[in-house]
Amino acid sequence: MSQSMSIPASQTRRPATMSAGMSDRWFSILLITPAMVVILVFALLPLAYALDVSFRFADLTRGRLGDFVGLDNYRIVLADEAFWKSVGVTLQFTVSAVALEMVLGIAIAFLINGATAGKGIIRSLMVLPLATSAAVTGLFWRYLYDTQFGLINYFLGLLHLPQPNWLGDYTIALWSVVLFDVWQWTPFVALIALAGLQALPKEPFEAAELDGASTFRVLRTLTFPMLKPVLFLVLVLRTIDSVRLYDAVAVLTRGGPGTTTESMTFYLYRTGLKLFRMDYASTMAVFFLYAMLVASLFALAPLLKQFSTRASEG
């Protein structure tokens, strides 16, 4: 296994004298045209549309888009308690799920990395949850969580532990969604951390060994600093995914009991397509997008830079 986050490649440009007929420049633009048209038309146009709707009255039960109402929708949404509650649920889910996945995933990676035999089969079993859809396996988890027929409570009963009402209890339901997410995505963190561990150079560790450095010191001064770029990447990818939480909520709890598991995405969906208030829903979408853009400026800038340097080095 070899891995590289940044490959120092010499910048060799194609000699300009080779261009017969079409120039390199035009050829390169021609090649990206189909993809760029798709992205610009189907990403930016809908966003402009959402922005437009967010400034209008749009109750789908009363027909078409209505008049401009200025910032009214923004005032209403920002004063909407249910909206802020869904933001809270989303943050609570994201922080707990991502933290658990990172800690467990890294621990599992260390565990597997030290194993002498069977790494292949271990990895094969680990990737399986990644092939499944949250909507399909999540639905089946409802059966596992069932208070009557569920396997989880059956095992807890055998061990004489309390048998909670996983999806029906106000205080537990969100944790049940977290547990499902941890099941599906911890292997992802573990696999990538493992690839990072296996790609570490041997020499610094041999030197530390000769110097008699303690295991803890090696971890703190060598292993983790060298793993940092990979771990940061995983953290960002998991966070982006988690704040969009929808599938698991839709099949496991439908936002309930009450609205205790209603994520921002789910509330937005309910406002727009169940209550048909497209104006409020679009306003939330704009707000959500804005939050993501701001977050990416601060949290993702280093990662994007890393990506871009790698690309321009190629």
The footprint of another protein on residues 177-206 (CB under 8 A) is: 183, 186-188, 191-192, 195-200, 202, 205-206
CB of 284 to another protein, least distance (A): 9
The reply on whether position 47 binds another protein by CB under 8 A is yes
- CB neighbourhood size of 235 (10 A): 17
- Give the footprint of another protein on residues 237-256 (CB under 8 A): 237, 240, 243-244, 246-247, 250
CB of 31 to another protein, least distance (A): 4
CB of 68 to another protein, least distance (A): 17
User: Taking Cα atoms as reference points, which of 101, 82, 278 lies closest to residue 181?
Assistant: 101
Cα separation values, 301 from 196, 238, 243, 261, 269, Å: 21, 16, 18, 31, 30
Q: Residue 33 or 171: which CB sits closer to another protein?
A: 33
The reply on whether position 99 binds another protein by CB under 8 A is no
Stretch that binds another protein, among 72-80, 92-100, 114-122, 160-168 (CB under 8 A): 114-122
- Give the footprint of another protein on residues 148-177 (CB under 8 A): 148-151, 154, 157
Question: Residue 195 contacts by C-beta under 8 Å, 6 or more apart in sequence?
Answer: 1, 3, 230
Burial of 98: CB neighbours in 10 Å, binned 0-12, 13-18, 19+:
buried
The reply on whether position 42 binds another protein by CB under 8 A is yes
Q: Which of 103, 161, 275, 289 binds another protein (CB under 8 A)?
A: 289
The reply on whether position 235 binds another protein by CB under 8 A is no
Question: Residue 74 contacts by C-beta under 8 Å, 6 or more apart in sequence?
Answer: 54, 283, 287
Query: What gap in Å lies between CA 303 and CA 260, rounded to an integer?
Result: 33
Tokens of 248: 């698991």
CB of 174 to another protein, least distance (A): 19
Percentages helix, strand, coil for the chain (3-state, rounded to 5) are: 70, 0, 25
Query: What gap in Å lies between CA 282 and CA 271, rounded to an integer?
Result: 9
**Number of residues in contact with another protein under rule CB under 8 A:** 120
Query: What gap in Å lies between CA 301 and CA 307, rounded to an integer?
Result: 10
Stretch that binds another protein, among 71-79, 94-102, 169-177, 270-278 (CB under 8 A): 270-278
- Give the footprint of another protein on residues 131-150 (CB under 8 A): 131-137, 139-144, 148-150
Stretch that binds another protein, among 66-74, 81-89, 169-177, 235-243 (CB under 8 A): 235-243
